[in-house]
Amino acid sequence: MNQPALSFETISDPSEGPIRLHNATGYAGMRKAGKLAAEVLDMLTPHVVPDVVTLDLDRMAWEFVRAAGHDSATVFYRGFSHSLCISVNHVVCHGIPSARKLKDGDIVNIDVTVVVDGWHGDTSRMFLVGDVPLKAKKLVDVTYECLMLGIEAARPGATLGDVGHAIQSHAEKQRMSVVRDFCGHGLGLNFHEAPNVVHLGKPGRGVVLRPGMFFTIEPMINLGGPAVKLLDDGWTAVTRDRSLSAQFEHSIGITETGCEIFTGSPLGHTAPPYRA
């Protein structure tokens, strides 16, 4: 693997530990990785329809990434063995591809992480399968808005508390709730590293953002309460009250003036709903 030795320096945060500050090499690496991850979701878009088997979507993603000459970060990650997490309806995150078919009215998160020359691109989107009830569409729209408000708050001098606050206040205004048990994360040459990006917060609190920091923002928003439970497979997280849950994720880098989204859609599948 090609690991550029001088791609970052490190600052130390009292609660988060060392956080990397990447240079131009890191930005170049993350642009490539982020683009491939977004291309996987673009490629899948026309296939996310009633009666598709989720394992088939996973296989398409794997073949696409391998054909591009790159790797999945999730195959063999802590015992996970798929290229995608596919989380349907009340599944919050880390749904495992299976023989299950998607059906009319489902809302589905597809999350993909790829590795390109050692750099990680991590992104997810919500897909509406066939005709989706208004309430579910509203959840998907609000969750996307939460991600984008978090991204707008991410700039040098702002804090992770500002990012979390932007997300939390928007969700709670709509009487929806923010999942506490999972958060965004630093990434780069590692899949998950400091800092933890909690999707709740108070303005001015937490890590001060600086140019060169790379992390994901990936809010999970529920129609009901925030509580989550883990199924016996050790991965699938569902809402305790079985209410619907939605999530979007981008990988970003803090720049001198704001931030750069590494995982934007090359095909323009930017905001939901996505039509082939």
Q: Which residues bind ligand MF3 (CB under 6 A)?
A: 74, 77-78, 80, 85, 94, 111, 113, 122, 216, 218, 235, 249
CA distances to 21, 66, 93 from 115, rounded to whole Å, are 19, 11, 20
Cα separation of 270 and 58, whole Å?
21
Q: Which is nearer to Co ion, 7 or 72 (CB)?
A: 72
**Minimum CB separation from ligand MF3 for residue 186, in Å?**
11
Among 216, 239, 243, 263, interactor with Co ion by CB under 5 A: 216
Taking alpha carbons only, the member of 35, 269, 276 closest to residue 144 is: 269
Q: Which stretch binds Co ion (CB under 5 A): 18-26, 32-40, 195-203, 215-223?
A: 215-223
Choose the contact partner of 27 out of ligand MF3, Co ion, none; CB within 5 to 8 A by kind.
none
Q: Kindly identify the residues of this chain, within the stretch 235-274, that bind Co ion according to CB under 5 A.
A: 249
Q: Does residue 122 touch Co ion according to CB under 5 A?
A: yes
Q: Which is nearer to ligand MF3, 111 or 132 (CB)?
A: 111
Q: Which is nearer to ligand MF3, 71 or 122 (CB)?
A: 122
Q: Which is nearer to ligand MF3, 27 or 235 (CB)?
A: 235
Question: DSSP letters of 118-143?
Answer: TEEEEEEEEEE-SS--HHHHHHHHHH
Choose the contact partner of 80 out of ligand MF3, Co ion, none; CB within 5 to 8 A by kind.
ligand MF3
Choose the contact partner of 74 out of ligand MF3, Co ion, none; CB within 5 to 8 A by kind.
ligand MF3
Taking alpha carbons only, the member of 200, 203, 153 closest to residue 179 is: 200
Taking alpha carbons only, the member of 116, 135, 40, 34 closest to residue 71 is: 116
Q: Which is nearer to Co ion, 9 or 148 (CB)?
A: 148
Q: How many CB atoms lie within 10 A of CB 2?
A: 8
**Minimum CB separation from Co ion for residue 124, in Å?**
5
Three-class SS of residue 106?
coil
Question: DSSP letters of 196-218?
Answer: EE-S---TT-SPBP-TT-EEEE-
Three-class SS of residue 223?
coil
Residues that bind Co ion (CB under 5 A): 111, 122, 216, 249
